[in-house]
């Protein structure tokens, strides 16, 4: 099923039933990571469909369990964060979008950064993400392993106030990182913290795009760790 045909959680379940081979299931998860989960959550929020969101969060049937357990634990946790944020938005449907941010601290238990939850909740209702104090863009080089070629990309770091010294991606890229990429990101953060450059109230949100306009698939390996560290240092200078 093409990505643009996955609009609801029912679509996800139907597509999974048709995915008979493991390769089909991997392809399905790639589609979900590239926007399927966000689209389904947005649609549920639009309909204020708390029942579906709660059912998925609790994984009440074997199909839902199969879908969530097919991914690594870290990825499944991100899905649960999407579901919890969607439920929080549903419970605050009558509030102005910006008032939704007040619910974000309650979501710390999902083990995702509070700032990420705030941005995700805004994205779920189609609102712009929080405005950055300043931003910095770096030219980086990626390797497209599927095509065995190098591609230029731009890494943008955005400094946000009223934070908790957290670093996180824009919601669209949350599922893209493998364990080595996440560790490199964390190592860069620890390095700059250790140098005393990162204030307690600052967050950094990052985004990455290929310069040839093609979509990102998976961000794997530690190669961007140095770019993150350099970017943090320059952003805080």
Residues 118 and 7 in one domain: yes
Q: Would the CA dihedral through 81, 87, 88, 93 be positive or negative? A: positive
Would you say residue 109 lies in a domain? yes
Residues 29 and 49 in one domain: yes
How many CB atoms are closer than 10 A to CB 155?
Answer: 19
Residues 62 and 146 in one domain: no
Domain boundary among 89, 124, 159: 124
Residues 102 and 47 in one domain: yes
Q: Is the pLDDT of residue 1 over 60?
A: no
Residues 90 and 138 in one domain: no
CATH number at residue 149: 3.30.230.10
Which residues, in sequence order, are CB contacts of 145 under 8 Å at separation 6+?
220
Higher pLDDT, 149 or 174: 174
Check residue 208 and give its pLDDT: 96
Q: For residue 159, which phi and psi values (nearest 5 degrees)? A: -90, 125
Distance of CA 72 to the CA centre of its chain: 15
Residues 120 and 152 in one domain: no
Check residue 98 and give its pLDDT: 58
Q: Which residue has the tokens 């649960």?
A: 80
Check residue 100 and give its pLDDT: 65
Domain boundary among 73, 91, 124: 124
For 17, 158, 169, 215, 236, the CA distances from 135, given in Å and listed in that order, are 44, 4, 14, 22, 10
What's the CA angle centered on 119, arms 117 and 122, to 5 degrees? Answer: 110
Residues 62 and 38 in one domain: yes
pLDDT digits (tens, 9 = 90+) for 64-123: 999 999 988 889 999 999 999 999 898 887 666 556 666 666 665 567 899 999 999 999
Give the predicted TM-score (pTM) of the model.
0.89
Q: Which residues constitute the domain of residue 111?
A: 3-124
Would you say residue 11 lies in a domain? yes
Q: Which residues pair with 140 in a beta bridge?
A: 153
Check residue 94 and give its pLDDT: 61
CA distance 226 to 215: 23
Would you say residue 38 lies in a domain? yes
Would you say residue 129 lies in a domain? no
Check residue 97 and give its pLDDT: 58
Domain boundary among 124, 148, 180: 124
Residues 80 and 181 in one domain: no
Give the chain's domain count: 2
Residues 61 and 100 in one domain: yes
């Amino acid at each position: 099923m093409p990505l643009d045909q996955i609009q609801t959680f029912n679509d996800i379940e139907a597509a999974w039933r048709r995915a008979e081979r493991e390769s089909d299931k991997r392809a399905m998860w790639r589609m979900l990571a590239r926007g399927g989960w966000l689209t389904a959550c947005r649609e549920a929020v639009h309909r204020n469909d708390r029942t579906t969101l709660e059912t998925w969060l609790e994984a009440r049937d074997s199909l839902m369990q199969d879908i969530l357990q097919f991914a690594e634990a870290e990825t499944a946790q991100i899905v649960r964060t999407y579901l919890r944020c969607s439920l929080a938005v549903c419970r605050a449907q009558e509030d102005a979008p910006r008032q939704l941010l007040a619910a974000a601290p309650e979501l710390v238990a999902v083990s995702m950064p509070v700032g990420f939850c705030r941005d995700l909740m805004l994205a779920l209702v189609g609102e712009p993400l929080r405005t950055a104090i300043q931003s910095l863009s770096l030219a980086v080089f990626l390797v497209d392993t599927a095509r065995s070629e190098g591609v230029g990309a731009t890494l943008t770091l955005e400094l946000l106030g009223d934070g908790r010294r957290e670093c996180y991606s824009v919601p669209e890229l949350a599922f893209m990182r493998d364990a080595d990429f996440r560790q490199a990101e964390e190592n860069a953060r620890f390095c700059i913290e250790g140098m005393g450059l990162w204030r307690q109230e600052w967050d950094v949100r990052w985004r990455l795009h290929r310069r040839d306009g093609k979509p990102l698939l998976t961000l794997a390996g530690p190669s961007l760790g140095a770019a993150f560290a350099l970017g943090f240092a320059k952003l805080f200078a």
